[in-house]
Amino acid sequence: MKRFFVKTKKLTAVVITIAVLCSLCVTSLAVNMVVTNAEPGIVAAENSKVTIDDENMLIIGVREGTSTLENIVEIAGNGRLVYSNNGVFSKETTVSLYNSSYTTCYGVYNIVFRGDVDRDGAVDQDDLNAIAEVATLKANVDSDKITYTTMDVNADGYIDVQDLLFAKAIFSGLDIDEDIPEQDGGIDEDYWGDI
C-alpha cells in the first residue's frame, strides 16, 4: 500500500506539471491569436510627414509623383495594402487595407497630395494662389484639417512662404528636397526664381 501511495504522489505531481504547462501553452496561443486576428490599421511611418485621416479615409501629404506608400505608412496589425492602379498616384488612386489573406477589407483610403489644396489631383495655379493668400496673411485657413495639411507643404506646422516655394517647385516639376535651399541666410533665388 505504501508503494502505491508514493507512485500516486509522483503521478499527481506529473499531472499537475503537465496541466500547468498546457495552461501556459493555451494562454500563449490565445494571446497570439488575439494579436494576429487584430483588425489592421494604417499609421504614418516615422518622419514621413503624412497625416492619416481615418474619419474621412484620407492619406494626406503624399508627394506628387509617388507610386507606393512604402516607407510613408506602416500597417498596424496583420494587413496588406492594395492600390487601385499601378504606377504614379493620381486623384483617382485609392488604397485598400485588407487582412493578410485578402478576405476582409477594413477601409479604402484616398490619396491627397501636398500642396493640392482643392484636391483635384495636382498642384496647379489655383493651389498656389490659395497658399499665397494664407502665407502672406491675406486670408486665414478655416478649421478644416485637410485644407491646412495640404497647404503646409513642408509639414512644419505652419503655412508660410516656404510652403509656397515648395508648392511652386512641385507645380514647376522640380525635384524638391526636404530643406529649402538658402544662400547667405536668405532664399536662393537661382533655385526658386520669383515667388
Measured in degrees and rounded to the nearest 5, phi and psi for residue 101 equal -95, 5
Cα separation values, 165 from 53, 135, 153, 190, Å: 25, 10, 9, 13
Convert the pLDDT of each residue in 23-44 to its tens digit.
544 444 444 444 445 788 999 9
How confident is the model at residue 21, as a pLDDT? 52
Per-residue confidence (pLDDT) for residue 17, from 0 to 100:
55
Instruction: Give the start-to-end residue ranges of the domains of the chain.
Output: 1-37, 39-113, 114-182
Average pLDDT estimate for 71-85:
90
- pLDDT score at 172: 86
Mean per-residue pLDDT of the chain: 76
pTM for the model stands at 0.62
C-alpha cell at 139: 486670408
Q: Which residues of 69-106 are buried (b: 16+ CB within 10 A; e: fewer)?
A: beebbebebebebeeeeeeebeeebbbbbbbeeeeeee
| Ordered DSSP codes for 52-85 | EETTTTEEEEEPTT----TTTEEEESSEEEEESS
> How far is the C-alpha of 60 from the C-alpha of 109, rounded, in Å?
10
More confident residue, 63 or 127: 127
User: What integer is the mean pLDDT of 15-20?
Assistant: 55
Domain at 114-182: CATH architecture = Orthogonal Bundle (1.10)
pLDDT at residue 13 greater than cutoff 60:
no
Average pLDDT over residues 42-59: 88
* Res 108: pLDDT: 94
Range with lowest mean pLDDT among 29-38, 84-93, 110-119, 164-173? 29-38
Residue 77's alpha-carbon distances to 28, 49, 100, 135, in angstroms, are 18, 21, 9, 39
Q: How far apart are the first and last CA of the chain?
A: 101
Q: Write the pLDDT tens digit of every residue in 131-183.
A: 999 988 888 877 677 788 889 888 888 899 989 998 998 888 876 655 544 43
Q: Quick check: 84 pLDDT over 60?
A: yes
Mean pLDDT of 89-114: 89
